[in-house]
Structures are given as C-alpha cells and as structure tokens.
Amino acid sequence: MWKSGKRAIHYLHNLNAAAANVPASLIENGQKRVIDASLTLIRERAKLKGELVRALGGAVASTSLLGVPLGHNSSFLQGPAFAPPRIREAIWCGSTNSTTEVGKELNDPRVLTDVGDVPVQEIRDCGIDDDRLMAIISDSVKLVMEEDPLRPLVLGGDHSISFPVVRAVSEKLGGPVDILHLDAHPDIYHCFEGNKYSHASSFARIMEGGYARRLLQVGIRSITKEGRDQGNKFGVEQYEMRTFSRDRHALENLKLGDGVKGVYISLDIDCLDPAFAPGVSHIEPGGLSFRDVLNIIHNLQGDVVGADVVEFNPQRDTVDGMTAMVAAKLVRELTSKISK
C-alpha cells in the first residue's frame, strides 16, 4: 500500500480529539484559503519579476529561483528542508563576485531573479496531504513559467520535489523533456518504504507520467537490483562512477533536447564526492569532482528550460558552510546555462 509522507506531523492532526466536532467544511475552506494565498504570493512575485525583465528587454530566457523547502519525504534525514535560505545566503555572501565563470552578471535581473519559497511547512500544518502539496508545487512552477521569459531554477529540498517540478515544466511546454540527472543514487524505486513520493522514487513517477523522453543518470554509485531493473524498464541511461573514466568524454560532450521541449537538469548535491560536499544526508564516497560536474554542465549542448538543486543538508555542513558555497556555485553556473 502506498503511503505519502509517513513521517509527517501535521498540527491539525494533533488536534483530532479537539476538532472532532468541527465541520469538515470549515477545515476545507481554511485549507483552500491557505493554498490560494500561497499561490497568490508566487503569482504576484513572478508577475513583478517578469514585468521587470520584459521592461529591460533583451532576454530570451531568464532564470528565476523558486525555493521548495521540503524534507519530509527523505528516507533518512530531513535537513534539506532548511537548504533554500542557506543557498541564497551563500550566493550573495560577498566572499566572491557576482559574475559566473562564463561571464553572466547575476546582479542583472535579466539573468537572475527570485520569486521566493513555496510555504511548504505552513501548507502541511493545515493538514494538506502530499497529493495536494505536489499539485501546489507544480502550480507554483507553472506560475513562474507563465511570465515569459522566466524559467525555473528550483532550490530543494529533498529530491521528491523533482517530480512535481518536471511534471509542471513538461505540462506547461506541452511535451516531454530530456533530463540530465546528476546523483549518487538513481532515485527510481517504485515506491520506497511505501511512500510513492519518496525522494528515492521521484524518477519513477516522472517516467511513469511520460514527462521525459531520455533520462541520463550520471554519478551513480549506490544502486540496487531494483534500481537497475527500473532503469531497464524505463530505458534509463545510467552512467555509474565505476566506469566514469571510460564515459568521461561522452558525458562532457552531451547533446540533448532535439525533438523534445528542451533539457531539464536535476542536480543532487551528493553526486559530488563528499570531499567536495560533506553537507548531504547520504554520504557516498567515490563521486564526481566539482570540476567534473561543471564540465558536464558547461559543455552540454541543448536548451535548458529548467533545473533543480536538491539534497543539500545544512545540518551536516561544515562550520564554515563549505557545502552551501558549493550549492551556490552550482546555482550560479546553472543560471548561466539557462539565461540567454
């Protein structure tokens, strides 16, 4: 049996006894108001940023950050829920300049804007289940995309957020995308620990939904028989670290997105060797170097229509915030790939 967010603790659920005589319509109407308010905030912020970018002119595509501070679908630690503000802080901390490696200026709103966070905890505290929460995340992404030329770069959060984000991108563009997925794990279990929205099952939901034509998984070094079987079932191209030296040339010269609606990049911080990024929930030695990842991203040929950076866990980071800076640098370089 599928269970959603089995570790979730909702404020209203703790008041079952007190709320036993409360009309269901009262709760439902209250939940609807919270959902409407959440989407209104994203809509209005995206509208403002879109109007600004269009008024300035000259942007074909412009990256817009959207935070999704969700951690309850993690199978181990839930610290990724605290990541979005730490990543933003690192982006603008002042220890480095605001220019990306390829010369994009982050202070230019035509390159990067920010529409804030989906208020995940506030929504869940109203007793809203994961089916509706995932729909709210998808709707939030679509609101960003409605404001042409904005394109979403989503800050997680655990990897469960990739499903509603990719779903939204695919539905909004009217067809499947090609996905470049960098991760230590394939995250393609059918239903990990009974949770269909587990961070370990996000790409099973994506492939079942037909939201991706090609799925390339790079950096894999923790994979079970089910992970391989599911990969074969969905025709996933899995590149394991044990063969990276052989695969390097091909991975650093990828061409994706022809014949579909574009390319989506999903970047789990644990794709990196923990020497470069210790602040993750699942420490898995033997991963990619930081420059390996940047080479793959920089050299990718294709129209990047959206991306996410997930699974940074600030609760496991070093005192000086090393992994936060790594995540921020990845966001900066992904911005360079999206904005044009």
Which residues are part of a known binding site?
Answer: 159, 183, 185, 187, 268, 270
Taken in order 241, 243, 244, 247, the sign of the CA dihedral is: negative
Please give the Cα distance from 192 to 161 (Å, whole number). Answer: 15
Please give the Cα distance from 253 to 274 (Å, whole number). Answer: 25
Report the residue count for the chain.
340
Please give the Cα distance from 193 to 195 (Å, whole number). Answer: 6
Give the start-end residues of each E strand in 86-228.
112-117, 150-156, 177-182, 212-220
**263 beta partners:** 178, 304
Please give the Cα distance from 49 to 108 (Å, whole number). Answer: 12
Token digits of residue 31: 């939940």
Question: Residues with Cβ < 8 Å from 295, sequence gap 6 or more?
Answer: 252
Output Rg (C-alpha) for the chain, integer angstroms. 19
Check if the beta carbon of residue 308 is closer than 8 Å to that of residue 156.
Answer: yes
Question: Binding-site residues for Mn(2+), please?
Answer: 159, 183, 185, 187, 268, 270
Map tokens 């020497």 to a residue: 275
Check if the beta carbon of residue 180 is closer than 8 Å to that of residue 218.
Answer: yes
Please give the Cα distance from 260 to 245 (Å, whole number). Answer: 29
Please give the Cα distance from 309 to 266 (Å, whole number). Answer: 6
Check if the beta carbon of residue 205 is closer than 8 Å to that of residue 196.
Answer: yes
